[in-house]
Structure 1
Amino acid sequence: MSSYLIFTSIILLCLLSSSFSSYASLHKATNESVTFRPQHEIQKLKLIREHLPKINKPAIKTIQSSDGDIIDCVPSHHQPAFDHPLLQGQRPMDPPEMPKGHSQENESHEDFQLWSLTGEFCPEGTIPIRRTTEQDMLRASSVRKFGRKIRRVRRDSSSNGHEHAVGYISGSKYYGAKANVNVWTPHVSSKYEFSLSQIWVIAGSFADDLNTIEAGWQVSPDLYGDTNPRFFTYWTSDAYQATGCYNLLCSGFIQTNNRIAIGAAISPVSSYKGGQFDISLLIWKDPKHGHWWLQFGSGTLVGYWPVSLFTHLMEHGNMVQFGGEVVNTRPDGSHTSTQMGSGHFAGESFGQASYFRNLEVVDWDNTLIPISNLRVLADHPNCYDIRGGVNRVWGNYFYYGGPGKNSKCP
């Protein structure tokens, strides 16, 4: 065989070897994409189907909402809260003593959720629970993280892409807080982002032992699958690490009301240069039993966070915050265009900027008192800002929010 033929044969063998190697690699990759990934999804679906009965309790009645939600009317003593080891065998407490100085004048009526606009409610002795679907849980990165905040908060800086514009007070002992919160439908750019407005009652340090109680409204496509503003609650006793969750998605918060569905869409909402709508929120510590109660609207008790869930909040809060928060994932390397509040800056004022008004705290003797030392802070004021004020009608108030990405917030 000539040297030319030998050389040619070697080249052909190398090409064949290379082709076979490429085919084998392609076959392996294709095989993995066909078998491994579906197995991963099948396992996740199995975990989801095992978890759903823990939060979707057997109902005695179901109500279909116009926005697609299904509301289950669940016997109150069967709600998820009583799966908690510290709460098993208990039943909901009777209503507590209201804070002194509490007025129900000019507060919103309680039929402010889409599901209840038909006039249909859950029977006495039951609570309405928004049904969680497989699709809800499939949007989460994992079953374990579903319904949980995956970050640590800091008052003085943004953390993990979380940006704030808040009013806050600290340096004393706080036994609750109250405000009227303007409701909007801010644009949220990505399913991995959210926009919310809420009250925080905080105790402990901004480390592993942070305790918080939270309530307000939020737009979260990842959690709810749409862009409606929804009433929500949250709690944690370890800085969002392993305890707590949104709404009734884990055991903890005990609901006592048969007309309010936590996690359900709010209606009506405010419009730019049009009608304005706000919701009244009151969180306070029952001086008799120590539980932290939540009132929403005109005298409507929603339920309570049992004091046994907490460490520092077993006594009192050491900070209260009011305001907005968004997640900024920096799509394409620039600031998100997810809006906070109305999506307009505080300087645009009433009918255009979002607001909190009638800010109060509950002091040691269960009395509501106006806030006298409110401080305001915006992490990135070119993206979202805040301006405080006081007047005779609104007491302590502030405007806040913004559009996110703009010429000064690239």
Structure 2
Amino acid sequence: MVTMYWILALVGAELPWTKNSTNILCCKFHDYRRRQYQQQQQEDSTKAKKQENFSSNMACSYSKISPIIPIVICFLLVASSMCPVAQSSDIRRETAANQTLKPEQELKKLKTIRARLNKINKPALKTFQSPDGDLIDCVLSHHQPAFDHPQLKGQKPLDPPERPKGQNPPGMAAENYQLWSMSGNLCPEGTLPIRRTREEDMMRASSVRRFGRKLRRHVRRDTSSNGHEHAVGYVSGDQYYGAKASINVWAPKVVNQYEFSLSQMWVISGSFGDDLNTIEAGWQVSPELYGDNYPRFFTYWTTDAYQATGCYNLLCSGFVQTNSRIAIGAAISPTSTYHGGQFDISLLIWKDPKHGNWWLEFGNGVLVGYWPSFLFTHLQNHASMVQFGGEVVNSRPSGSHTATQMGSGHFAGEGFGKASYFRNMQVVDWDNSLIPLSNLKVLADHPNCYDIQGGINNVWGNYFYYGGPGRNVRCP
């Protein structure tokens, strides 16, 4: 498309393209070529005769022009159906008709992308660049994407709710660090830091229409589907009003743009059919969504099994952010290293007993925001399952299992400092109290590729190690 715009500028065309402007464009193109040939005629009499004959017969037929530039120009104009060229055969007319689709589709895609970006990216009072290249916009809190929702229009974020009983500060002091804030940049009071979505982000997406959403799939925990593989711990069979865990952060290798690796909590209600409700939070490496391999803090929600509702982060109206120091979708730093320092983040999701909204806390008592209760069907009441663990997409590159890593990229049996972990897993009960897990089950649907081992002790409470390298001698 850049080439097309340059060519149009050269011949003086104006957008939008129409049939009338097409003829004008072709005539301007002819005038431009005639002037060029006349100049050459003065310099070289021999070439002038050939060019004079050529110019006299010239009627926008590109097949007789010898220089490469006019060939390319007229070819692209024909392909765009902007020049009334007389074709010599039905085959050539059919070819031109097929070629017409490409620039029109590209223009339509670009128009769709820019309209979506105008909706996602809100006016900023201040913008600065993160060390990882992100642009962080400081947006007035009541202008954030959530308030595009019809049921939230004209409202402002709610005040903090009552926190669960038994909530103790986590033991790690630096668990809410993000790269963008390390340089000392802060958003002004009354604004929120929002990672800007750029044109290249949407151009990378496998589907512009579904940008910011997970692929629709049947979600089960006793098997994998559509290439999604899991190593998880879960509880079910009761009524749950929230969950908490500390999640070890790594930067796993993801082998191609359309795969991801994540570690998260799921708060789930409904069946595993089209009525599935989930609230999700954790960290993920997703080159398609973010354009790099940094682990990033993310949120997600859906009320219809990932079909039409919900999205990552703030890419649609839904999640209401209340915190001015956390940027959802921004890179987490530091990360854990093999045989080195270990770093985890503490996450808590719970249902406000008074208003029924689902709140998210990140780190040392820092409220990030909430999912309004009206977004959901089953989760308007309570959750029926809570899940913790890792997930990867296996696209089977080159016909073999992916080498995308889960967690640290090492199996659970390697233990602390080598394998990734979840620790201090708890749930919130009907009385808004944090309680230990009583019936944690663990499951790895491809244990030769990614596995999991659970345990319990006085320091970590309920915990498990999980992860793996993906493709290996036991996982071909």
Residue-by-residue CA offset, 1:126-176 (whole Å, 9 max, x unaligned): 111100000001111332200001122212211110000000000000000
Gaps of 5+ in 2: 1-88
Preserved CA contact (<8 Å) 1:108 1:278: no
- Matched residues, percent identical? 74
Which of 148, 160, 164 is the matching residue for 1:99? 164
Normalising by structure 1, we get a TM-score of 0.92
* AA partner of residue 139 (structure 2): V
User: Is 2:236 aligned against 1:175?
Assistant: no
User: Is 2:185 aligned against 1:120?
Assistant: yes
Which of 137, 142, 146 is the matching residue for 1:77? 142
Counterpart position of 2:133: 68
Which of 328, 353, 356 is the matching residue for 2:422? 356
Range moving further from structure 2, 133-142 or 94-103: 133-142
The structural deviation recorded for 1:101 is 0.3
Counterpart position of 2:329: 263
Normalising by structure 2, we get a TM-score of 0.80
Residue-by-residue CA offset, 1:312-336 (whole Å, 9 max, x unaligned): 0000000000000000011111100
CA distance in 1, matches of 2:414, 2:277: 35
Preserved CA contact (<8 Å) 2:176 2:363: no
Preserved CA contact (<8 Å) 2:245 2:425: yes
CA distance in 1, matches of 2:397, 2:93: 34
Counterparts in 2 of 1:26 and 1:405: CA distance versus 1, 3 Å: farther
Counterparts in 2 of 1:212 and 1:26: CA distance versus 1, 3 Å: same
Counterpart position of 1:234: 300
Gaps of 5+ in 1: 1-22
CA distance in 1, matches of 2:383, 2:176: 31
User: Is 2:210 aligned against 1:145?
Assistant: yes
Preserved CA contact (<8 Å) 2:175 2:344: no
The structural deviation recorded for 1:42 is 1.4
User: Is 2:373 aligned against 1:326?
Assistant: no
CA distance in 2, matches of 1:202, 1:306: 15
Counterpart position of 2:446: 380
Preserved CA contact (<8 Å) 2:175 2:343: no
* AA partner of residue 303 (structure 2): S
Counterpart position of 2:349: 283
**RMSD over aligned Cα, in angstroms?**
1.6
Number of equivalenced pairs: 389
Counterpart position of 2:263: 197
Q: Which has the higher contact order (CA 8 A, sep 6+)?
A: 1
Please identify the structure whose Cα radius of gyration is greater: 2
* AA partner of residue 364 (structure 1): W
More helix by share: 2
CA distance in 2, matches of 1:328, 1:120: 38
Counterparts in 2 of 1:384 and 1:59: CA distance versus 1, 3 Å: same
CA distance in 1, matches of 2:150, 2:278: 20
Residue-by-residue CA offset, 1:16-35 (whole Å, 9 max, x unaligned): xxxxxxx9757854x46754
Range moving further from structure 2, 109-118 or 213-222: 109-118
CA distance in 1, matches of 2:438, 2:115: 50
Range moving further from structure 2, 247-256 or 151-160: 151-160
Preserved CA contact (<8 Å) 1:108 1:279: no
* AA partner of residue 170 (structure 1): S
